[in-house]
Amino acid sequence: MGDSSGSRPSAFQLLFDARLNRAGAFTSEEREAFGLEGLLPDAVETHHLQLQRARAQFDAQPTDLGRYQFMSALHDRQERLFFALIRSDFQRFMPIVYTPTVGEACQRFGHIMRRPKGMYISVRHRGRIARVLRNWPVRDIRFIVVTDGERILGLGDLGVCGMPIPIGKLALYTACAGVPPEAALPVVLDMGTNNESFLEDPLYPGLRQPRIAASEAVSFVDEFVDAVQEVFPSCCIQFEDFTNRHAIPMLARYRNRVCMFNDDIQGTAAVGVAGLFGACRIARSSMREQRLLFLGAGNAAVGIADLFVRHLESIGVPQRDALARCHFMNSRGLVHAGMGGLPDYLHRYAHPIAVPVPPSVQGNEHSPVTRLLDAVEIIRPTALIGVSAMPNTFDEAVIRSMARIHSRPIIFPLSNPTSKSECTAEEAIRFSDGRAVVATGSPFPPMHFQGKLFVPGQGNNVYIYPAIGMAVFATQARRVTDEMFLRAAESLAAQTTDQDLSVGLIFPPIASILDTSIRIAIDVASLVFDAGLARVDRPEDIEAFVRRQVYDPDF
């Protein structure tokens, strides 16, 4: 047993380094050899006994935020037990470690933070970011999840209080797909915040200044990306919870220069397209027949649409026809041809609409269709996808309209946390008389309706980004491509069984997410080798090669 430098650890390190600490599970021989005798109670405990104690302590917490704080402290204290606990019951622990509880943890972060985790790169570090990154004690970092905290979930600008997002994402890299935790580094880029309540809060732990200008932000992120290449040359960067005005341009700016991806765009796209594959199986229809209406026109919506179009093109649908199957509602109404003020990434989805456009709105930023119900009646979509963070917008009238137009309407309220969901799973099922195919961004419980069991699928990116991460880790891929996300979507959808579909579940159960993720990682790794993007030699057995690298928290 030794630390990362290969030297013999001290008793203090063994008990207070979360990566080494096994607490009461140290054997009698280890206690004698490492000077631990007397520093622990006499009983030598099994891993299972420690899990039992941890579950009891978890259950004793009175609130979900308290349970989040318990899990965070366990992560600080005993890393292997933390990951083993999550894996022992994904359905029980994932909603605490990540969505929906992580949203409240971000909002309260300045008040509940304990031990620092990850790195906080401030605009005050400009000109020396590489030097600051070298303060991290691990040299071979393979993954950084980074946010600037400006668009945390559907909660807005939380500044450095967005740190629980990178922490939670990377925890699920390990728990759900086996990426070794020592290879991961959560990062917040502190560019200030425009959240007045935080700036007035004496416990806010970040820079007390308004956000820097957009032009300054670009150069700051440029320096950060370049510094990562210098300090951690094998690292893949996952961008998380940047606003639309930054996220889409940054993906275009960096994707062909460095190993990176944007989970809000590409991860959401893959899980959304995988959900459509599953919905088509339930509805006995094809992807060619789908017509999508998105409520929301930002990163997530455009990401799903772009990957859907890429899939249609791969099966022979002309691009023009594929694009015409995607429609968007933004804050100004139904996006249409001739609508002014559209960002570049929406122009290709601005189509003519089947209603007269009054002269007063021609060429300006308004739309003649501002109600979602009217848009549904005009577009007659097969699938209604919510990525707006606007709760209760899929109301009874909208869902009943979808159910009147199609026998098996596809309803995906994907916004999270739960408080931002466009509707609940129960509402989608009840208002459609049990005919809707439903996937939600946040978890909702199974329900019975008209004597039939419905198990809502959670269209959560956790099905995708940890698996992509494991594939990149194993192959040391030089780039992350859209083809990798499409392969991940196909692999995820293929693992949904007919039994799953019979209860409306269009994704494999969360309980089996470790096996699901490893299977996706194997399929994506094969694509990486086929595309010549790997920095390691192709093994004879790719499946065995990937599985050998999966982190095991047992001891």
Q: Is the pLDDT of residue 267 over 50?
A: yes
Judge if 120 and 207 occupy the same domain.
yes
By the 8 A CB rule, do 390 and 295 touch? yes
Judge if 387 and 321 occupy the same domain.
yes
pLDDT interval class at 417 (50, 70, 90): confident
Q: Which of 117, 120, 169, 465 is catalytic?
A: 169
Tell me what pLDDT residue 443 has: 84
297: in domain: yes
Task: Give dist(CA 254, CA 236) in Å, integer.
Answer: 11
152: in domain: yes
Q: Which residue has the higher pLDDT, 543 or 331?
A: 543
pLDDT interval class at 4 (50, 70, 90): very low
By the 8 A CB rule, do 431 and 396 touch? yes
169 annotated active-site: yes
Task: Give dist(CA 444, CA 432) in Å, integer.
Answer: 17
Cα-based angle 555, 467, 531 (whole degrees, multiple of 5)? 125
Q: Which residue has the higher pLDDT, 361 or 549?
A: 549
Question: Considering only 156-165, 289-298, 417-426, which range has the smallest mean pLDDT?
Answer: 417-426
Q: What CATH number is given to the structural domain containing 3?
A: 1.20.1370.30
By the 8 A CB rule, do 500 and 302 touch? no
Tell me what pLDDT residue 8 has: 84
* Chain segment 544-555, per-residue pLDDT in tens: 999 999 999 987
Judge if 129 and 10 occupy the same domain.
no
* Chain segment 307-320, per-residue pLDDT in tens: 999 999 999 999 99
Eight-state DSSP code of residue 249? H
Task: Give dist(CA 9, CA 2) in Å, integer.
Answer: 5
| Mean pLDDT of all residues belonging to the chain | 94
Task: Give dist(CA 384, CA 199) in Å, integer.
Answer: 38
Q: What CATH number is given to the structural domain containing 449?
A: 3.40.50.720
Environment class of residue 243 by beta-carbon count within 10 Å: exposed (0-12), middle (13-18) or buried (19+)? middle
Task: Give dist(CA 151, CA 245) in Å, integer.
Answer: 11
* Chain segment 60-93, per-residue pLDDT in tens: 999 999 999 999 999 999 999 999 999 999 999 9
Q: Is the pLDDT of residue 424 over 70?
A: yes
Q: Is the pLDDT of residue 18 over 90?
A: yes
Share of the chain above pLDDT 70, in %: 97
Judge if 346 and 391 occupy the same domain.
yes
Judge if 441 and 369 occupy the same domain.
yes
- Tracing tokens 């693992």 back to the chain, one arrives at 495
Judge if 420 and 456 occupy the same domain.
yes
Q: What number of other Cβ atoms are within 10 A of residue 185's Cβ?
A: 23
- Residue 449 CA from chain centroid, whole number: 30
Eight-state DSSP code of residue 361? G
Judge if 116 and 251 occupy the same domain.
yes
* Chain segment 430-475, per-residue pLDDT in tens: 999 999 999 999 889 999 999 999 999 889 899 999 999 999 999 9
Judge if 367 and 401 occupy the same domain.
yes
Bridge partners of 294, per DSSP, are 328, 385
Tell me what pLDDT residue 130 has: 98
Element (DSSP H or E) covering residue 330: strand 326-330
Tell me what pLDDT residue 363 has: 59
Q: Is the pLDDT of residue 416 over 90?
A: no
Residue 430 belongs to domain spanning: 266-462
Judge if 457 and 427 occupy the same domain.
yes
306: in domain: yes
52: in domain: no
301: in domain: yes
Strand 447-449 and strand 452-454: the pairing is antiparallel
pLDDT interval class at 7 (50, 70, 90): confident
74: in domain: no
By the 8 A CB rule, do 270 and 488 touch? yes
Q: Which of 68, 98, 345, 465 is catalytic?
A: 98
Domain boundary among 258, 275, 308: 258
Question: Once rounded to an integer, what is the mean pLDDT over residues 225-239?
Answer: 98
68 annotated active-site: no
428: in domain: yes
Considering its fold, how many domains does the chain have in total? 3
- Residue 99 CA from chain centroid, whole number: 9
Judge if 284 and 170 occupy the same domain.
no
Q: Is the pLDDT of residue 3 over 60?
A: no
Judge if 179 and 282 occupy the same domain.
no
Tell me what pLDDT residue 364 has: 60
Paired tokens of 287 = 């992807």
Environment class of residue 395 by beta-carbon count within 10 Å: exposed (0-12), middle (13-18) or buried (19+)? middle
Domain boundary among 197, 227, 258: 258
Strand 119-122 and strand 410-413: the pairing is unpaired
Q: What CATH number is given to the structural domain containing 199?
A: 3.40.50.10380
- Reduced to 3 states (helix: H, G, I; strand: E, B; else coil), residue 187 is strand
pLDDT interval class at 388 (50, 70, 90): very high
* Chain segment 165-207, per-residue pLDDT in tens: 999 999 999 999 999 999 999 999 999 999 999 999 999 999 9
pLDDT interval class at 368 (50, 70, 90): confident
φ, ψ at 47 (rounded to 5°): -60, -40
Strand 410-413 and strand 383-386: the pairing is parallel
518: in domain: no
* Chain segment 102-122, per-residue pLDDT in tens: 999 999 999 999 988 999 999
Domain boundary among 208, 234, 258: 258
CA dist 258 to 140, 233, 252, 477, Å? 17, 10, 11, 10
Judge if 285 and 428 occupy the same domain.
yes
Task: Give dist(CA 260, CA 144) in Å, integer.
Answer: 9
Paired tokens of 199 = 């700036």
Tell me what pLDDT residue 362 has: 59
* Chain segment 22-34, per-residue pLDDT in tens: 999 999 999 999 9
Q: Is the pLDDT of residue 348 over 60?
A: yes
